[in-house]
A and B are shown apart, each in its own frame.
Chain A
């Protein structure tokens, strides 16, 4: 009984958390699923957004300017990941890791130290409504509305002439080029857009939790990937609408799952292992079950 009350008590916090991390899951999904350009750089762009935003808030800038700067930083970093991979023909994963590593130093430079407390500065939540930062349902409403708005805009964009060109690059690179689409610019802008979402999540997180830290990115890619996989399991990816919905639904489900684990008494420090294991199982499942099915068939024949 105790366990259930703990879980229920955690729901509002977890929902706020998952609505923030939904943007990271979206940032993992866009390059991976739509552009066919697997990219892990969220691990670096997420804290970059947070650190830039935190540093500017602490310098006295308003939350809108601080967030815009954080998102712009993510955009630049994302462009860099794509440009390095395309120009030097390096694997996108490696290019992402190089940028993540370099961003760690950048983040420390930007903040001047490894963390900054932001409790005393006005945040974007205060801007929407004074005192909103203390109200979980209020935060939930604002974040939920933002997620819906972004998903709606993305869905509309994917149906525009530019959006269809973007999807074509991921679906069939040769065909896209043969239809006059610049793979270079499309990939760079697509990855940069995704990185902007990740950085945006970082800017929201530091304001929501009241402090900015260079280590907030640790493990977010695996969480994003786990969210995406769970979301695809739940809503599928047969259409562009479902594909866009999957990371958001997945993030909500995933953080509830984590919450269940915590309620069951799992130590928070073991969570990373659990997340990694979850992703591994999800990725391995089709392979393992597929094999068993093939072996069973061979036995019959």
Chain B
């Protein structure tokens, strides 16, 4: 049975906290425009999903480089990552968002994507 993909939860949580802080205004609250609320929320949620997907992708590549995955595991994980990327893009497209729109600005740390 394939070993599940893992990543450092503490680092992941810290990155998520930073991403959420970056999405907030100066008073710490998330700024939502009533006119575009669906798109704003979709951008935030899909941006976080894509960010986590990319973390998983990097971890998968590290495991491939380390030789700890069988061919079958590589195929299955790669396929899951590829299809999840396409699914996120498809949903983003339904909200009028391009892949570049899913990038969350982390201030001095740069962007998530």
Q: Do A and B bind each other?
A: no
